[in-house]
Amino acid sequence: MTTVALKPATMAQALTRALRDAMAADPTVHVMGEDVGTLGGVFRVTDGLAKEFGEDRCTDTPLAEAGILGTAVGMAMYGLRPVVEMQFDAFAYPAFEQLISHVSRMRNRTRGAMPLPLTIRVPYGGGIGGVEHHSDSSEAYYMATPGLHVVTPATVADAYGLLRAAIASDDPVVFLEPKRLYWSKDSWNPEHPTDVEPIGRAVVRRPGRSATLVTYGPSVPVCLEAAEAARAEGWDLEVVDLRSLVPFDDETVCASVRRTGRAVVVHESGGFGGPGGEIAARVTERCFHHLEAPVLRVAGFDIPYPPPMLERHHLPGVDRILDAVGRLQWEAES
Amino acid sequence: MTVMEQRGGYRPSPPPAWQPRTDPAPLLPDAEPYRVLGTEAAAKADPALLRRLYAELVRGRRYNVQATALTKQGRLAVYPSSTGQEACQVAAALALEDRDWLFPSYRDTLAAVARGLDPVQALTLLRGDWHTGYDPHEHRVAPLCTPLATQLPHAVGLAHAARLKGDDVVALAMVGDGGSSEGDFHEALNFAAVWQAPVVFLVQNNGFAISVPLAKQTAAPSLAHKAVGYGMPGRLVDGNDAAAVHEVVTDAVRRAREGGGPTLIEAITYRIDAHTNADDATRYRGDTEVEAWRAHDPIALLEHELTERGLLDDDAIRAARDTAETMAADLRERMNQDPVLDPMDLFAHVYAEPTGQLREQQAQLQAELHAEQEGGH
């Protein structure tokens, strides 16, 4: 039996490795976007791919997001498997018409004759001191569009496993990369990458008995930190990392809430019309008789994303999460 | 070093890297739309091709008339007619090889039919029983596209992918004068030129975007001139001259196939009918204008040329009309049958595998349908 050597790797490195392995395994996989070739992407996620696979496989496109996604649709129609990089969350908006009117519904409109196996990578979320238009949490828009899968990793291993699964999927996948976790490190063996993770499965990151924190992407480490801090208050919090917003894993989430009887949904995206409302509703509809308190939400404020010097007031942090946990009607238990 | 630090040693110089990238002159469209019929060029045209174009035009006009009638009878939800534009529709389809791809807009059902698509399948979207009534791979016809110009980048991507795979395939994308104002028009042409993709853009300038005339759409010298800005040739053609459209599109397709890159073609034509049956064209244009264009009818132009030159006799004209009537009768008969609909199809192709929530909703609809049946419907 050999011991697998685990090394610290960043999420960005795991994503690069996933792209490289997918391109090596399947000649129809094409990476395209702004600055993805010579530069290797502004976050260096496509570093080295143009050199290894040539510029026809990792292509610097003109600076036009609708054109990037629109041409990727045509490439997918001809049997390629494009992986598109949108440079930043808010720069993906010009591509929304292609995304909503074509990407999400080509399979449906053609009765399955023309599926579009394409992956749209979107660095998203705040916390990196970005100036205006560089920190949006745009997942609610994608979730509201039938026909798309919406996936977001929170760990280095998941970044690899979920991106491989996204590229292998015959459905279009919006792959949301939490920007502030790009440089997060984890013990991971890049020589023997972990298995491809199935899309649509949430995972319990930290087991607990008192209440469930339902979260995803950049808020997962924050929730884990909050769970540690909560021990001092006598709360043993469970943390569920959704990993996939569409399809939504009701089973894992509800199993956890039925065990704990309390739930707080945590995300950076605004609360009004945000993912938390949908999640709270689903939990309430399915677990009403197990709930000791209303499902609460800890979300970003319902404001345009703030300037970098003020963003710490906007982002859900440990204190705001613990405050919400404190409001879960504990007195009723005694 | 700044100018100050150089203490007078600074000499202004031109921008270091600039030079003209391409000579724009060869890309410019001709001053007049290219014409064949009624010109010396007609003598060089292949008589067999002209006769085929004629038969297809007659069939195409009949198709437009029949589809419009079916709309009045309530058999189609809506029909955006290409009456008056049949030369563009037919010639574009015939200029392509079997392996090539057509990217039509919603007004281009006739082009799809001319390419071999079953007329009933081509009208599925407009009847409303599904969005696309055909497998796009069967005749290499992309789904009829409603959001304007959004199919153009698809054509570019498909042509680019084909070239990357080493396939000898050209994509022809059709768009209107209104569509040329859309951002996707710009992005598609730019990508096509940068990638030198084997794609041909055919703009049918039919004078109107619903009610808005071209003068309110663009200040460009012509739509074909826009090509120059992208570094591709622009061509102007009389869109009602089927022989001319066929020649110009064929040339552009050949050029694309040989690695010469994309071409933008502007075909000058006219939308004889209103935008759709739901539109009232008298609110924005006069009869005089419409009558002037009726006098430049694509079928009349070609019929005149062929009969003048003794290439078409009464029998041939009758044969073309009979073929068209047979098509129309078949279309009428099949469109008068109610389509068989299965509501459960709604969930069939949203994803490769339905998600849990779709399975729940599917069960809900199934239960509702059962209840309806139980209720004696």
How far B352 CA lies from chain A's nearest CA (Å)? Answer: 6
**A204: phi then psi, degrees, rounded to nearest 5:** -85, 110
pLDDT at residue A172, rounded to an integer: 98
pLDDT at residue B9, rounded to an integer: 82
Question: Pick from B83, B84, B79: which is nearest to B67 by CA?
Answer: B79
In a domain, A196, yes or no: no
Assess contact for B193 and B232: CB atoms under 8 A.
yes
B136, B158, B191 member nearest A67 (Cβ): B191
The structure tokens 């993906």 sit at: A92
* H helix count then E strand count, chain A: 12, 14
3-state SS, B247-274, equals HHHHHHHHHHHCCCCCEEEEEECCCCCC
Contact residues for A328 (Cβ-Cβ < 8 A; gap 6+): A211, A262, A264, A292, A293, A296
Residues A291, A172, single domain; the answer is: no
Task: Tell which of A164, A188, A212 closes a domain.
Answer: A188
A192 classed as catalytic: no
Residues A72, A154, single domain; the answer is: yes
In a domain, A197, yes or no: no
How far B346 CA lies from chain A's nearest CA (Å)? Answer: 9
pLDDT of B374 over the 70 cut? yes
B153 touching A (Cβ < 8 Å) = yes
CA dihedral B324→B325→B327→B333, nearest 10 degrees, is 160
Q: DSSP letter for A175, please.
A: E
* Residue B52: CB atoms within 10 Å: 16
Cβ-based contacts under 8 A for chains A and B: 137
**A229: phi then psi, degrees, rounded to nearest 5:** -65, -30
Helix (H) or strand (E) holding B246: helix B242-257
In 3-state terms, what secondary structure has residue A26?
coil
Residues A131, A255, single domain; the answer is: no
Interface test with B, best of A29, A96, A110 (most B CBs within 10 A): A110
Assess contact for A162 and A153: CB atoms under 8 A.
yes
Both tokens assigned to A261: 């009887």
Residues A183, A266, single domain; the answer is: no
3-state SS, A312-326, equals HHHCCCHHHHHHHHH
Residues A21, A110, single domain; the answer is: yes
A105, A110, A248 member nearest B135 (Cβ): A110
The tens digit of pLDDT for each residue in B183-229 reads 999 999 999 999 999 999 999 999 999 999 999 999 999 999 999 99
- Say yes or no for a CB contact (<8 Å) between A70 and B160: no
- Say yes or no for a CB contact (<8 Å) between A109 and B191: no
Q: Which residue in A30, A102, A133, A134 is the catalytic one?
A: A134
Cβ-count burial A49-85 (b if 16+ within 10 Å, e if not): bbeebeeebbbbbeebbbbbbbbbbbbbbbebbbbbb
Question: Pick from A296, A22, A291, A41: which is nearest to A167 by CA?
Answer: A22
B79 classed as catalytic: no
Quick check: ipTM above 0.90?
yes
Chain B: residue whose CA lies nearest to A100: B147
Q: Please list every residue in chain A whose beta carbon sits closer than 8 Å to the beta carbon of residue B135.
A: 110-111, 113-114
Residues A98, A165, single domain; the answer is: yes
What is the Cα Rg of chain A in Å? Answer: 20
Handedness of CA B276, B281, B284, B286 (dihedral sign): positive
- Say yes or no for a CB contact (<8 Å) between B153 and A73: yes
- Omega of the bond leading into A178 within 30 degrees of 0 (cis): no
The C-alpha atoms of residue B73 and residue B71 are separated, in whole angstroms, by 5
pLDDT of B5 over the 70 cut? no
Q: Look at chain A and report how many structural domains it folds into.
A: 2
In 3-state terms, what secondary structure has residue A297?
strand
How far A330 CA lies from chain B's nearest CA (Å)? Answer: 32
- Say yes or no for a CB contact (<8 Å) between A75 and B135: no
Residues 41-80 of chain B with CB under 8 A from chain A are none
Residues 167-196 of chain B with CB under 8 A from chain A are 171, 183-184, 187-188, 190-191, 194
In a domain, A48, yes or no: yes
Both tokens assigned to A286: 């399915």
What residues pair up with B105 in beta bridges, in sequence order?
A: B145
B131, B187, B349 member nearest A67 (Cβ): B187
Task: Tell which of A138, A161, A188 closes a domain.
Answer: A188
B136 touching A (Cβ < 8 Å) = yes
Contact residues for A126 (Cβ-Cβ < 8 A; gap 6+): A135, A136, A137, A179, A180, A218, A268, A305, A311, A314, A315
Q: Please list every residue in chain B whose beta carbon sits closer than 8 Å to the beta carbon of residue A170.
A: 352
Interface test with A, best of B100, B134, B151, B164 (most A CBs within 10 A): B164
The C-alpha atoms of residue A166 and residue A21 are separated, in whole angstroms, by 13
pLDDT of B256 over the 50 cut? yes
pTM: 0.96
B159 touching A (Cβ < 8 Å) = yes
Q: Which residue in B35, B51, B225, B284 is the catalytic one?
A: B284
pLDDT at residue B12, rounded to an integer: 87
The C-alpha atoms of residue A75 and residue A85 are separated, in whole angstroms, by 15
By residue range, what is the domain housing residue A297? 203-333
A70, A110, A113 member nearest B153 (Cβ): A70
The C-alpha atoms of residue B110 and residue B274 are separated, in whole angstroms, by 17
Residues A135, A179, single domain; the answer is: yes
Contact residues for A83 (Cβ-Cβ < 8 A; gap 6+): A19, A22, A29, A30, A31, A32, A118, A119, A121, A167
Assess contact for A260 and A317: CB atoms under 8 A.
no
How far B248 CA lies from chain A's nearest CA (Å)? Answer: 25
The C-alpha atoms of residue A173 and residue A179 are separated, in whole angstroms, by 18
Chain B: residue whose CA lies nearest to A101: B147
The structure tokens 């496109």 sit at: A61
Residues A168, A68, single domain; the answer is: yes
The C-alpha atoms of residue A218 and residue A155 are separated, in whole angstroms, by 9
B122 touching A (Cβ < 8 Å) = no
Q: What is the CATH number of the domain that holds A173?
A: 3.40.50.970
Mean pLDDT of chain B: 95
Q: Measured at the alpha carbon of residue B231, what is the angle toward residues B229 and B236, in degrees to the nearest 5?
A: 75
Residue range B227-251: mean pLDDT, rounded: 98
Write out chain A's pLDDT in tens, 334 residues: 445 567 788 999 999 999 999 999 999 999 999 999 999 999 999 999 999 999 999 999 999 999 999 999 999 999 999 999 999 999 999 999 999 999 999 999 999 999 999 999 999 999 999 999 999 999 999 999 999 999 999 999 999 999 999 999 999 999 999 999 999 988 776 666 666 778 999 999 999 999 999 999 999 999 999 999 999 999 999 999 999 999 999 999 999 999 999 999 999 999 999 999 999 999 999 999 999 999 999 999 999 999 999 999 999 999 999 999 999 999 855 4
The tens digit of pLDDT for each residue in B47-73 reads 999 999 999 999 999 999 999 999 999
How far B366 CA lies from chain A's nearest CA (Å)? Answer: 19
Residues A119, A37, single domain; the answer is: yes
**B326: phi then psi, degrees, rounded to nearest 5:** -60, -45
Helix (H) or strand (E) holding A215: strand A211-215
Question: Pick from B82, B135, B128: which is nearest to B105 by CA?
Answer: B82
Work out whether strand A81-85 and strand A29-33 pair parallel, antiparallel, or are unpaired.
parallel
Q: DSSP letter for B34, please.
A: B
Chain B: residue whose CA lies nearest to A70: B153
Assess contact for B160 and B195: CB atoms under 8 A.
yes
Residues A231, A309, single domain; the answer is: yes
Which amino acid type is present at position A115? P
pLDDT at residue A194, rounded to an integer: 63
The C-alpha atoms of residue B163 and residue A225 are separated, in whole angstroms, by 51
- Say yes or no for a CB contact (<8 Å) between A111 and B355: no
Chain B: residue whose CA lies nearest to A115: B352
Contact residues for B251 (Cβ-Cβ < 8 A; gap 6+): none
Task: Tell which of A131, A163, A188 closes a domain.
Answer: A188
pLDDT at residue A1, rounded to an integer: 41
Q: DSSP letter for A190, please.
A: T
The C-alpha atoms of residue A152 and residue A160 are separated, in whole angstroms, by 11
Residues A214, A173, single domain; the answer is: no
Tell me which architecture the domain covering B25-277+285-335 has in CATH: 3-Layer(aba) Sandwich (3.40)
Contact residues for B300 (Cβ-Cβ < 8 A; gap 6+): none
Contact residues for B373 (Cβ-Cβ < 8 A; gap 6+): none
How far B61 CA lies from chain A's nearest CA (Å)? Answer: 27
Residues A165, A254, single domain; the answer is: no
Handedness of CA B120, B152, A67, B99 (dihedral sign): positive
Q: Please list every residue in chain B whose beta carbon sits closer than 8 Å to the beta carbon of residue A144.
A: none
CA dihedral A246→A269→A142→A163, nearest 10 degrees, is -60
Both tokens assigned to A209: 């008995």
Angle at which helices A156-168 and A11-25 cross, to 10°: 30
Q: What is the CATH number of the domain that holds A280?
A: 3.40.50.920
In a domain, A1, yes or no: no
How far A114 CA lies from chain B's nearest CA (Å)? Answer: 7
Tally of residues, chain A: 334
The tens digit of pLDDT for each residue in B288-343 reads 999 999 999 999 999 999 999 999 999 999 999 999 999 999 999 999 999 999 99
